[in-house]
Structure 1
Amino acid sequence: MARVLETLTLPRASAVPATSRNFVNLQASRGLRIQSFGSPKLGRKLSARIVCQAQEAVQVLAVTDATWQKNVLESDVPVLVEFWAPWCGPCRMIHPIIDELAKEYTGKLACYKVNTDESPTIASQYGIRSIPTVIIFKGGEKKDAVIGAVPKSTLSTSIEKFL
């Protein structure tokens, strides 16, 4: 169930003059932060997005071949990735645990899921032979893997090693 934590009104890009479009000041808002994507070579921001970090609103998002590099390998925080498939019974058992961990570690750990039927390239790249498999990445590198529907405490122990 979704709930509104706070509202924030943003001006439409077309309503802001082109000269100031890149510099819109936003009011501080509880549970929100602005995430910038820049280029060290160019020394400037390329884009930004508003990210909700309120625990009540955390969702484990799907990652695909197209978003893998940006979301997982280039992440500033450790990343937990659950490899799963819709037909997998144990995967359905571990989903609520992953959701809880995502809420618990908000801001410290990014959590994503990969549907191995839809993104077989990623699964084969990391040698996924059994699902569910949970892999923890830090600095773009695979650091730990847990195979099977395991208790929350097992996953928490693995996560804590890399925070």
Structure 2
Amino acid sequence: MNIAEALEMPVVVDPRGFIQTHITENAYCPLPKGQLSLHFNTESAWCPSEDIWDYALKKWAPHSRYYYYAEEFGVAGVWTNDLEGKYFSWNYVIYAHLSEKIPAIIREALSQNFIAPALKDGYHEHCTYWKEAALRKALLTFLPHPEWSTADLFYVVDKDLSRCMQKLDSYLRFYRVQHLV
């Protein structure tokens, strides 16, 4: 609410876009033509909190724009407004807990060729970020159906293989990044 109050927003639709970390000098990165990029993490619930940031740019930096990537694995999904993939270049996210019971072929396939470092949270769950071609290659190692579209491979793994994972004390959740305008 401090940001909304500082902005003197007439109506706060969603005040949940609060900043998780301190913004320091290291949060700025140089861009071409002497411009700067500011990077920070925010937290909201259920979906991206755009209204507060739209208003902040309108009031404080109307010449600027912002790009975000948001994830909510429990219920909703993953989103970005970076349509060109300039800052967030992945198309898919795998959210998983892989126990030692997982067959080696699956573990190896899902442990290679993702584009961003695997993140591990306090619940021993892993997130990996994938471009479509790399994910397709990984899925084909344990679903050898090259005639299937990536969407079909994705569907089978997400629905059928995920159901089998419960018996292996594991789970896999696949998310296709949704592009919002």
TM over 0.5: no
Which one has a bigger Cα radius of gyration? 2
Larger fraction in helix: 2
What is the TM-score of this pair, normalised by structure 1?
A: 0.30
